[in-house]
Amino acid sequence: MSGTHPVPELPGLLSAAQVVATARSITRTQEPDGAIPWSPGAQTDVWNHVEAAMGALVGGEVATAEAAYDWCARWQRADGSWPMRIVQGRVEDASGETNMCAYLAVGLWHHWRLRRDLDYVERLWPVVRAGLDYVVGLQLPWGGIAWSQEYDGDRPARVNRDALVAGSSSIYQALRAGVALAELVGEPQPDWELAGGRLGHALREHRDLFLDKRTFAMDWYYPVLGGAVRGAPGRALVDARWDDFVVPGLGIRCVDTNPWVTGAETCELVLSLDCLDDHERATRLLADVQHLRNDEGGYWTGYVYEDEVVWPREETTYTAAAVVLAVDALSRTTPGSGIMRGEDLAPPFDELALECGCAEGASADVLAR
């Protein structure tokens, strides 16, 4: 046991002790102010930082996770956004990326599921609320979320009025987590529910309106991972490009044209398959990616299989976190193991007040078609 929950394991694949070692690799990388960069001395962005905190918490590193969430509160700007790139306490890119600004909601809901610390949730709730208000304020008329906004110092400037499938899919999950948190603290947010309904519809029916990033694996599986597309449509979506990305025995390509498999994307596909009850392929892929594990429990970012070399030669916290979260999801161990499956989040949003010309009133039961 560690904290208030058992550490997950998958017999024959990863033991609980190995999962703890992976979580501790995240802690080793954390900076004194609570930031969890990609790797020692590298950049911190809020999305990967939160993901790393979630992985650390599953592995029993409670202090690491809470220091990370407290860091989020300190770095949030007045409008609810965060700088896109921070390196050792210095802002290197002040732009606000919407999927990053939304993701703390997922992390805080995950913390609640594991820790049941309402005081902690209430302390960070204003941070989550401001972040999601900022994100919803950048929703486009057809339902997608503008992917970023430029800043002049701390002053918001031009909005990049294009939307990304992966980023908007992550925001969909964050809105469901945010609505669940809102209900928990007694502050319902109907505007988030309306925004979520429009966003889910766009991700199911209008992916052609998003920026074309089809060469990237994330653009392929994220509608499933984020929860907007599930059931038969989700299985069809995954199967359609399986052979383009999956390299048997190694993992999945980050980009379909490059001979480079990456651990984080592979584990996110594992989580997506788990959401579709495809546990056989999920477990096989998680086993495949263990060639990236190093002797201290961390994970290398990726592997160039044509050259048979690890590249880049860095272990990344977000990769370690993705492994831990995948083990938890497949083993059904902690109370937060269903965070990607959507268990205990707010229900999928109804498709109401659509402005795209489609028939209104379509229910969220479209997910099960």
**8 Å CB contact between 223 and 165:** yes
DSSP-assigned beta bridge partners for residue 96:
149
DSSP-assigned beta bridge partners for residue 2:
5
pLDDT at 153: 87
The type of residue at 351 is E
- Walk across the sheet containing 43-44 and list its strands: 43-44, 85-87, 90-93
pLDDT at 365: 40
Give the Cα separation of 92 and 80 in Å (integer). Answer: 18
Q: What is the DSSP string of 100-130?
A: HHHTHHHHHHHHHHHH--HHHHHHHHHHHHH
DSSP-assigned beta bridge partners for residue 78:
none
Structural domains in the chain, CATH included, are: 16-342 (1.50.10.10)
Terminal alpha carbon distance of the chain: 40
Question: For every one of its 369 residues, what pLDDT tens digit does the chain have, with 9 covering 90 and above?
Answer: 334 789 999 999 999 999 999 999 999 999 999 999 999 999 999 999 999 999 999 999 999 999 999 999 999 999 999 999 999 999 999 999 999 999 999 999 999 999 999 999 999 999 999 999 999 999 999 999 999 999 998 899 999 999 999 999 999 999 999 999 999 999 999 999 999 999 999 999 999 999 999 999 999 999 999 999 999 999 999 999 999 999 999 999 999 999 999 999 999 999 999 999 999 999 999 999 999 999 999 999 999 999 999 999 999 999 999 999 999 999 999 999 999 999 999 999 997 656 667 755 444 443 333
**8 Å CB contact between 305 and 259:** yes
pLDDT at 363: 41
